[in-house]
Chains A and B, each alone.
Chain A
Amino acid sequence: MSGNIIRPYGDTTGDGMVQVSFTLPIPHDKKAEGAALQLARKMGLEPAMLVHAKPMGEGFTFFVVYGSSTHLVNLDDVHVVEREYPLLSAKDVNLAIKKTLRRKLVVVGACIGTDAHTVGIDAILNIKGFAGEKGLEYYREITVVNLGAQVLVPELVEQARAEKADAVLVSQVVTQKDAHIHNTTQMSAAFREAYPAGTVPVLIVGGPRFEDGAEAALGVDRIFGRGTTPGEVASYLVHEMTTRRGQHP
């Protein structure tokens, strides 16, 4: 199975070459360079080349190291979550919503907690969209209510009920000390409390810091990470609505 074993590629197959940069909290001297090389070796770079060392501020040194990684990657041991639904065009999304719901799909979006960065939610919801794809507002069969930034959880729940939301999109971009996790679990708990079992809207969170596969821990239906396009979200919504309809006819 050696076909499934790979190493990093510098300029020759199998050379294993990588480049790293880091700072050590010691002043720059011979010993500091030795320390950098020791770290590189422990990271699996053998041989390691120290190509750059520069003092930074008082008592810090910055290093750039090139080296051949002794580690091998076995592709058979790599497991990722593959998208389990087909990517649909805007037209097909509209058609599918019309067919399954026979009304418009209502999506309520917000940045919750202290996060004021609406970049993520706007990229998905605003007509302008992201990466050349128009946002959900552009879809004829989707009604979008974008509540904007720093929305309080009770307000979000109330709005979702008032708008009879089918799905709730929450974005958490800037976060510190796991605020994105606290905010999200608080949000999902509030929805479970406010809605009878089985009627909670589809809960979706997006943001660069969420871990793949953490849906259950956060109490949400789906997590979207960096680089998600509006089309992916729309396609997922259709997939999820169809599945739910199938379960509760």
Chain B
Amino acid sequence: MSTTTPATLELDPAVVRRARSLARRAAAPVVKIARSHTTVSVERATLRLAGLSGADHERVPWVNHLVDAVRREVGLEHGVTSPVFDALRRGEAPDLVTLAQKAASGNVAFRLPSGREAAAARRAAAKGVGVGLRTIDASRRTRERLVKRLGDPKTTPWIYLIVATGDIYEDIPQAQAAAREGADVIAVIRSTGQSLLDYVPEGATREGFAGTYATQENFRLMRAALDDVSKELGRYVRLTNYASGLCMPEIAALAGMERLDMMLNDSMYGILFRDINPVRTFVDQRFSRQVHARAGIIINTGEDNYLTTADAVEAAHTVTVSQLLNERFAKEAGLQDWQLGLGHAFEINPDLPDSFRLELAHAMLARRLFPNAPLKWMPPTKHMTGDVFRGYLLDGFFNLVGAMTGQSILLVGMMTEAVVTPFLSDRDLALQNVRYVMNAASGLTEDFRPPRDGFIQTRARQVLSEAVDLLDRIVNDTASGTGHTAGAPLLAAIGDGTFGLMKRPADKGKGLDGVVERAPDYDNPATTALDAGAPTPAGRAGTP
């Protein structure tokens, strides 16, 4: 959290309260659906926490084999762990990997244990999964210790830079160089195809498209490399990846165990921009956020994306609505304010009169609505053209809004956005731009107060009131909920194209066949432990 007082907008506290209460009402039925379903990915994540990793010679992970086998024979509605640990107790295999190998060739008979045997299987499962949860807890303590020893960045916003070569062994020196040049947070962009893979690739990877695959080994290698450079620089450099797509829960579990520090994790991004089934997304998301909460990971939400498809002025209120929903879903899953890197972006058409003032109004609104959240401020992309000189100026104005409104995490804009993957020099020039603006103007948070009822205050209030209206329509538009969306008007709204202009019905989209309704005897020791909350109230490992 920034130490400077955010500029005041004089928002009506009653309207702000109403916005939050509507967000709560919109989220409630969806949370209910999330709590009464499981998915193949949630079950695989659970097995990963129990220590199952690796893949067969065709690179199909063992967790996929085991979950598929159990699903075929007894179904997933009771949870994968009871049949799996029952099989281990019956001596079908000495350990999980061997069991998965035998299951892959159809040599294990799974059953649903009952009575005493069920209780014993559950106990064994809780013990197994507990190992992974304790690894996550230990990683969190390690981060806290390193942050204490090495320190956080001395100034805000934290500088967030992207690395994306496709090859982890190229990413590492680039990430270390970026840290030396001043990056506080390194994000390794994922290969574009990964969000639609229904498995997590294994091992260190050297080929990806416009990014590098998220794998446990890649996570480990990069975190270790950043630990080295953190020691060298005397500040803890954070690592970011993506808990999104079809394997959100598994990636969250791997990130927690391998001590990633931030994860992209938006409540609706996968639905809208990857056409992933809404129910699958919300079930996966709740689990992944519970893991992030426990791991002390800061989530980054993706509101910037709405503005790349919809108009940044007309759709400004959909960003606010999404921030409120993201906040609600996050809090419900146990995340604290300091873990909510809510997103927003500088995407207004620069040819529009007063575009800078509008940007200021929107950025201030977000800062004011979420005073204790580390907001993530995203640079222009939609209106970046091949004119790199104009783009450089636009990035300067983006930085200026960031400085004037006390943003917490600043994703550094590249003048070659939409042209080429950034050159070494582009990154250096971009950092010079950020440093100049922050040196010259970050004190403005102290001086700049928009005049009462002036352009900025009026615009901010207008956006907030449009957001409240939209939430109100979503919550009270129960008539449109039928079938899958019955009783969950938010799902109906997503189906109607309310967000980002995309229509995503609850009974369509990728990954729907991986959703299973929980039976009354559903058991998942990870979910049980996560629902109960962290064992000890762990502290915050520093926030911007």
Q: A residues engaging B (CB < 8 A)? A: 21-23, 54, 56-58, 60, 62, 113-116, 118-119, 122, 126, 128, 148-150, 174-177, 179, 208, 226
With both beta carbons as reference points, the residue of chain B lying nearest to A113 in the complex is identified as B193
Which residues does chain A contribute within 8 Å of B313, judged by CB atoms? none
Per DSSP, chain B at the interface is: loop
Within the assembled complex, what's the spacing in Å between the Cα atoms of A179 and B211?
13
* 0 or 1 for each of B128-169: is its CB under 8 Å from A? (1 = yes): 000000000000000000000000000000000000001000
- Taken together as a complex, chains A and B put the C-alpha atoms of A176 and B274 apart, in Å, by 19
- Cβ-based interface call for B170 (8 A): no
21 A-B pairs, CB-CB below 8 angstroms?
Answer: A23-B425, A54-B428, A56-B428, A57-B177, A57-B424, A57-B428, A58-B177, A62-B428, A114-B191, A114-B196, A115-B192, A116-B274, A118-B309, A119-B308, A119-B309, A122-B309, A126-B501, A128-B311, A128-B501, A149-B274, A175-B209
Report whether A149 and B273 are in contact in the complex, using a CB–CB cutoff of 8 Å.
yes
In the complex, the answer to whether B309 meets A114 with C-beta atoms within 8 Å is no
414-438 of chain B: CB within 8 A of chain A: 418, 423-425, 428-429
Q: Hey, which chain A residues are within 8 Å of B331, CB to CB?
A: none
> Which residue on chain A has the smallest CB distance to residue B272?
A148
A62 touches B425 (CB 8 A): yes
Residue of A whose beta carbon sits closest to that of B193: A114
CB neighbours of B423 from chain A (8 A): 23
* Distance of A115 Cα from B196 Cα, bound (Å): 11
CB distance from B98 to the nearest CB of A (A): 35
Q: Which of B488-511 contact A (CB under 8 A)?
A: 501-502
Contacts of B452 in A (CB 8 A): none
What is the distance, in angstroms, from A106's C-beta to the closest C-beta of chain B? 19
**Once the chains bind, are A56 and B273 in contact (CB under 8 Å)?**
no
Q: Known A23-B423, A57-B181, A126-B501; judge A177-B209 contact (CB<8 A).
A: yes
Taken residue by residue from 182 to 211, chain B's Cβ proximity to chain A (1 for < 8 Å, 0 otherwise) reads as 000000000111011000000000010110
Q: How far, in whole Å, are A23 and B191 apart by their CA atoms in the complex?
A: 27
Verify B502–A116 contact, CB threshold 8 A.
Answer: no
Known contacts: A56-B424, A114-B193. The answer to whether A176 contacts B209 by CB under 8 A is yes
The docked-state distance in angstroms from the alpha carbon of A228 to that of B424 is 30
B502–A148 contact, CB under 8 A? Answer: yes
B220 at the interface (CB under 8 A from A): no
Contact residues in B for A57 (Cβ distance below 8 Å): 177, 180-181, 424, 428
- Give the nearest-CB partner of A150 in chain B: B196
Query: Does B359 lie at the interface of the complex (its beta carbon under 8 Å from any beta carbon of A)?
Result: no
Q: Which residues of B contact A150 (CB under 8 A)?
A: 193, 195-196, 274-275
Q: Which residues of chain A have C-beta atoms less than 8 A from B502's C-beta? A: 148
Q: Which residue of A lies closest to B194 (CB)?
A: A114
Say yes or no: A176-B166 contact (C-beta < 8 A), given A23-B423, A119-B308, A226-B386: yes
The complex places the Cα of A60 from the Cα of B424 at a distance, in Å, of 9
Is B382 close to A, CB under 8 A? yes
In chain B, what residue has the closest Cβ to A177? Answer: B209
For the complex, give the distance between the alpha carbons of A122 and B423 in Å: 28
Question: Which residues does chain B contribute within 8 Å of A115, judged by CB atoms?
Answer: 192
What interface size band does chain B fall in?
20 to 34
Q: Which residues of B contact A118 (CB under 8 A)?
A: 273, 309
Residue of B nearest to A126 (CB): B501
Contact at A116–B425, with CB atoms within 8 Å? Answer: no
Q: Which residue of A lies closest to B191 (CB)?
A: A114
Within 8 A of A (CB), among B386-443: 386, 418, 423-425, 428-429
Instruction: Decide: B210 and A174 in contact? CB cutoff 8 A.
Output: yes
* Closest partner residue, chain B, to A54 (CB atom): B428
Q: How far is the CA of A54 from the CA of B180 in the complex (A)?
A: 16
Asked whether, in the complex, the Cβ of B275 is within 8 Å of the Cβ of A174, the reply is: no
Which B residues are closer than 8 A to A by beta carbons?
A: 166, 177, 180-181, 191-193, 195-196, 207, 209-210, 273-275, 308-309, 311, 382, 386, 418, 423-425, 428-429, 501-502
Q: Looking across the interface, which residue of chain A has its beta carbon closest to that of B192? A: A114
Q: Residues of A contacting B308 with CB < 8 Å?
A: 119
Inside 8 A of A226's CB, which chain B residues have their CB?
386
Smallest beta-carbon distance A153→chain B, Å: 14
Q: Please give, as numbers and ranges, the residues of chain A lying within 8 Å of B166 by CB-CB distance.
A: 176-177
Nearest CB on A from B502, distance (A): 7
In the complex where A21-B425, A150-B274, A150-B275 touch, is A175 in contact with B181 (Cβ < 8 A)? no
Additional pairs, 11, CB under 8 Å, beyond known A60-B424, A62-B429, A113-B193: A23-B425, A54-B428, A56-B428, A57-B177, A57-B428, A114-B192, A118-B273, A118-B309, A149-B273, A149-B274, A175-B209
Q: From residue A178, how far is it (CB to closest CB) to chain B in Å?
A: 10
Q: Report how far A240 CA is from B502 CA in the complex, Å.
A: 30
In contact, A174 and B192 (Cβ under 8 angstroms): yes
Instruction: Answer whether A175 and B210 are a contact pair too, CB < 8 Å, given A56-B424, A119-B382, A149-B274.
Output: yes
Query: If the complex has contacts A60-B424, A62-B428, are A116 and B195 also in contact, measured as CB distance less than 8 A?
Result: yes
Chain A residue contacts of B309, Cβ below 8 A: 118-119, 122
Give the distance to chain A from B433, nearest Cβ to Cβ, in Å.
Answer: 14
Residue of A nearest to B429 (CB): A62
- For B274, list chain A residues within 8 Å (CB): 116, 149-150
Question: Which chain B residues lie closer than 8 Å to A175 at the CB level?
Answer: 209-210
Contacts A116-B273, A118-B309, A150-B275 given; indicate if A179 touches B209 (C-beta within 8 A).
yes
Of the candidates B195, B386, B418, B424, the one whose C-beta lies within 8 Å of that of A23 is: B424
Complex contacts, B386 vs chain A, CB 8 Å: 226
Q: Smallest CB-CB separation from B208: which chain A residue?
A: A176
A118 to B310, CA, bound (A): 12
Q: Which residues of A contact B424 (CB under 8 A)?
A: 23, 56-57, 60
- Per the bound structure, the CA–CA distance linking A118 and B501 in Å amounts to 12
CB distance from A206 to the nearest CB of B (A): 15
**Which of B166, B180, B275, B382 is the most central at the interface, judged by chain A CB atoms within 10 Å of its CB?**
B275
Q: Is the CB of A176 within 8 A of B196?
A: no
Q: Which residues of B contact A122 (CB under 8 A)?
A: 309
Q: Are A56 and B195 in contact (CB under 8 A)?
A: no
Q: Which residue of the partner chain A has the closest CB to B388?
A: A21
* Alpha-carbon gap, A115 to B209, bound state (A): 9
A54–B191 Cα gap in the complex (Å)?
A: 33
Task: Give bound CA distance, A61 to B424, whole Å.
Answer: 10
Please, which residues of chain B bring their CB within 8 A of the CB of A179?
Answer: 209
